[in-house]
Amino acid sequence: MGKLDPKNGKVAEFPVSLAHADPHTPAIDSRGRLWFTMQQANAVGRLDPGSGKMELRKVPTRDSKPYGMVITAQGTPVFCEFGSNKLATIDPQTMAIREYPLPDGARPRRLALAADGSVYYSDYARGFLGRLDLTAGKVEEWASPGGPSSRPYGIAVVPDGSVWYSESGVTPNTLVRFDPRTKQFSATPIASGGGVVRNMVSTPDGRLYLACSGVNKVAVADPAR
């Protein structure tokens, strides 16, 4: 893992002790600690940038390919197991991992948190949008407008509660909106084609920034316009 000081451009590196670690998605908690997934090592980790201390934990499910990660308002990391049909949490105190089963064949890739604490996930393999209630362990899912091969990927929740994600398996890629109250979808083609939107984030004013990886562009979408 690396840390860049934007003031002077210096980079500090923190080696991961696992072979084939493949550090993937990073997320920073309220205490400034860095959590991250490691696909090939089948593990998740936590780094304290101040002390340099790093703690690693293997995921119970073999070849689970830990992928997208978010951190709840309570400070609990939640991550996708892209190689299995599961989401998981890691206890920030004990580092214990708890897995939540999803429907058979699901392959969750990215996550987004709603204001009520529920977790939305993009099911890349089956073409679904899913929602996990972490408290009850209940899963809901809805078929994506583009169908089974639509490959939902980057996902975000904006301040009004609507869920946005991109379908990377259709040409051009689409930007999809889901209204959790009405359960209705709408989809808009991405002008550049998208080139696979691997990630997106929402700003406090509700705009979306999209990483259009295959066309060397960053897109900005304003749902209010």
The percent of residues in the chain predicted with pLDDT above 90, rounded, is: 89
Structure tokens at 19: 């072979």
Residue from 207, 208, 8, 200 nearest 110 by CA: 200
What is the percentage of the chain residues whose pLDDT exceeds 70?
A: 100
Q: Give yes or no for a contact between 127 and 151, defined as CB atoms under 8 angstroms apart.
A: yes
The whole-number pLDDT of residue 194 equals: 85
Give the pLDDT of residue 178. 98
Ordered by where they begin, the domains of the chain are 2-157 (2.130.10.10)
Which pLDDT tens digit goes with each residue over 15-64?
Answer: 998 888 889 999 999 999 999 999 999 999 999 998 999 999 999 999 99
